[in-house]
Amino acid sequence: EGLSEGKYDLAAAKEKLGVLRKAMIKEINTVAAGFDFPLSIPLLLGWADAVTDKREREKMMIEHSLEHDVDYRRDEKYSENERKFTLMHRNYRYLIEKFVQLRPRGKDAITEEAARFLLAFIDWFFVITGASDVIHYDISPTGLNIDHEFLVDVEYAKDMKDHQGQFAREDAQLRLGLIGNSKDKVEHPKSTAEQMAALDDAFRADYGFKFMSLVSVLIVLTHWPEQHEGVAEASSYSAMQDEIGAESQKAIATLEAGEIGPILDFLTLKPEEVLRIIGDDQPCDDLPVWEHNKRSARYTIRPLIKIEDRYHWGPYATRGAGIIWSGSPSVGTLPVDIGRASIDHLLENWKHLLDDQVELRAAEVVKRFTPHVTPSAELHRLDRGGKHPEDLGDYDVLAYCPEAHAVLNIECKNMLPIYCVKDAKRLREKIFGVPGKDEGHFRQIEKRQQYVLGHWAAIAKALRWPLSSAESPKIFSLYVTPITYWWTRFPPRKVDTTFLRVEMLSNFIQDLRA
């Protein structure tokens, strides 16, 4: 494509990467088109499941190691295991979705040698597309370098790789319970079963089946040999609708007549949908891996592939889809933008409940260390004679710790998870705003912090804190979330705020007291 080694500025890099990306898509399509779709799909599904199985075994081994002395760092091994899985499973998903898109009509099944080539090529394709997305969404790139071996590398600030490693290790430490207080983890006040039951009517009206039935069928497919006598354990399975319906009827007492057909259709990855983004009339030129919420045809949530009259699936894939569908409402969303008013209304209400839960948990943690805690503190209401401005809004948690002689101004936020570069940009702008346009959440946060700095004595008097006006307290602004985010761990601009995951709040206060 005429690219040569050297360093490119961002504008030139974006243009070059766009050209290279199109050429790589053409190459992937050409190679994949040479194989037979029905013969290849069972192999691809099994190989993808094997990647998940390897990750699960490694993860289990690391978790069991907590009971023993080991000569390696668990957090590093855990984060490396997750990194390898994330990258390799992404490559397999793309290849499976590519086969569904093309429905190739070659003569032979894909070979291991051809699969290795395609997976390696797709891995580099994601390097190229990832670099293009990072530049497009301005996620701190400084340039592009192509070396003499034509390896492509996006240049970032010097400390970016160190930050990536640190972020991954800290996340692993939290997951393994090596840091923080796992008992402080925020849970949704409504159980998973309650949420699924509440979604039943909305899904029945819009799709012809209950949400609970959707998840239950995925469980049946995951444990297919246990449900279907005479079927041996395998890396992938296939069955006709009548077979799946009969076994599901036996296993699911609440399954209603007529549900199984719409459920299987809903869970099927279809060639006419894999290039579509919700709301766009025209299909994309390739699988829209840069999109998440509006990309409904993803293997992670539609794990069935229909060939003639048989459905094919991998048991780890259906297990994962069941976890995603059943677990997503607890963070106030679904894995795809369904676009149904009745469902959106439920999800919005649940998101507010979780927002409240973050505030309640933060206040609960602080109360272990001091009785001087005021949640949802609206100063103009708590001290009507104090002439506090109404536009301050409410402080999620205001507290005074006598032992540390410190005031805590705690902002509690529950953000949706991020899954792609586009999501990362959205989150960054929501929290920190857009330079020259708005300041995001921090406009109000910094206003409240400045008010505490200038009026701490009046606030202490109104809230009856045992605080002398003779000695200024240390004042800390904290931003507490239930999930660790890149942009809260490494803010894009300097802010006078400490970002904490809820489980780390008690450690922060303990350090203050010490």
The least confident of 121-130, 336-345, 445-454 is 336-345
Alpha carbon 135 to chain centroid, angstroms: 21
Identify whether the C-beta of residue 353 lies closer than 8 Å to the C-beta of residue 482. no
Mean pLDDT of all residues in the chain? 91
| Residue 367: predicted pLDDT | 97
Position 67 confidence tier, pLDDT thresholds 50, 70, 90: confident
| Residue 320: predicted pLDDT | 97
Q: For residue 375, is it left (φ>0), alpha (ψ between -120 and 50) or beta?
A: beta
Interior CA angle at 158 toward 156 and 160, to 5°? 60
Position 10 confidence tier, pLDDT thresholds 50, 70, 90: confident
Other C-beta atoms within 10 Å of 355: how many? 18
The two three-digit tokens of residue 392, written as one number: 């301050």
3-class DSSP state for residue 122? helix
- Tell which wins on pLDDT, 153 or 110: 110
Question: 373-377 and 395-401: which strand pairing?
Answer: antiparallel
140 pLDDT higher than 80: no
Give percent above pLDDT 70 in the chain: 99
Closest by alpha carbon to 309, among 264, 251, 348? 264
Average pLDDT over residues 421-429: 84
16 pLDDT higher than 90: no
| Residue 44: predicted pLDDT | 98
Average pLDDT over residues 43-54: 98
- pTM (two decimals): 0.89
Average pLDDT over residues 191-208: 90
3-class DSSP state for residue 147? coil
The least confident of 344-358, 434-448, 477-491 is 434-448
Return the C-alpha torsion angle 9, 12, 15, 18, nearest 10. -40
| Residue 217: predicted pLDDT | 98
Which of 225-234, 371-380, 411-420: highest mean pLDDT?
371-380
Position 168 confidence tier, pLDDT thresholds 50, 70, 90: confident
| Residue 510: predicted pLDDT | 94
| Residue 267: predicted pLDDT | 98
| Residue 250: predicted pLDDT | 95
141 pLDDT higher than 80: no
Spatial separation of the C-alpha atoms in residues 291 and 2, rounded to whole Å: 29
H/E segment holding residue 52: helix 37-64
429 pLDDT higher than 80: yes
| Residue 112: predicted pLDDT | 96
User: Tokens 């094997």 identify what position?
Assistant: 50
H/E segment holding residue 141: strand 141-146
The two three-digit tokens of residue 23, written as one number: 């050429």
Identify whether the C-beta of residue 334 lies closer than 8 Å to the C-beta of residue 343. yes
Spatial separation of the C-alpha atoms in residues 477 and 410, rounded to whole Å: 6
Specify the amino acid at residue 408.
L
| Residue 92: predicted pLDDT | 98
Q: What is the pLDDT of residues 119-135, one digit of tens each?
A: 999 999 998 888 888 88
| Residue 165: predicted pLDDT | 84
